[in-house]
Amino acid sequence: MSLLDGRVVLVAGIGPGLGSALAERVVHHGGRVVVSARSGDRVGALAERLGDAAVGVVADVTERDQCASVVEAALDAFGRIDGLVYNAALIPPLTPVIESTPAQIRDAVAVGVEGALSLVQGCAPAMATAGGGSIVLVGSAVVRHPKPGFGAYNVGKHAALGLARSLALELGPDGIRVNTLVVGKIDGERLRSYLSEMADRQDRSLAEVEAEYVSRIALGRLPDPVEHADAAAFLLSPLSRSITGHMLDANGGEYFD
């Protein structure tokens, strides 16, 4: 039997890196997936690539009615919802929190917390009817060690962690588990862009900056999106059936907790 055999998982936030890998690994592990993002081209291309096991829905998670449409589409297509992976995020403004505007904080909370809550509120009744489910909120290493200059992003991710813990407590009696996947560095376009920017700021080569980052990771390499997506698949699967309210670190050994 496959890890997610027959399970229906909604994946919100399917960027070119981790988001797409999350959807692909759900299908790889035997599940069916509903993929959602604001980009119609990206949603359509991914759903087409995954075939009959996938349905794509274009939606903005900050709009509550659009979140409801994603849930409705999942139920129309597959008749049930067993899992939700919330991966929607904003590229953080590199601004200290003391210099952040109220709008920047609101935007971070709208995407990190309000969107997640809207989708959970939509999915939870269907999960409860099915006898339970698993919700994974994709977090960040900033909840372990906040980074200077990532003010609004730090606030949003810490708020999302509080949401996950509250939901785990409240939804547990319905058999619904809620966990946070705390991701570290993910090899890919976004990280390469960030490292390149750091190299320019420090007047160093990209290779030097990357080697410095890798030197802090116990495995001696940057984990790729598939490795993080498989950690999410574990949290969605029956193998983690007694785990809820937990933060699972996926970082290659960048830090230990």
3-state secondary structure at position 95: strand
| Residue 153 annotated as catalytic | yes
Strand partners, 32: 8
Amino acid sitting at position 169: L
Helices (H), 203-255: 206-215, 225-236
- CA-based angle 57:59:60, to the nearest 5? 160
In the set 86, 153, 194, 255, the catalytic residue is 153
Question: Could you identify the residue written with the tokens 């705390």?
Answer: 182
State the Cα–Cα distance between residues 222 and 211, nearest whole angstrom: 10
Q: Enter the DSSP assignment of 113.
A: I
Active site residues: 153
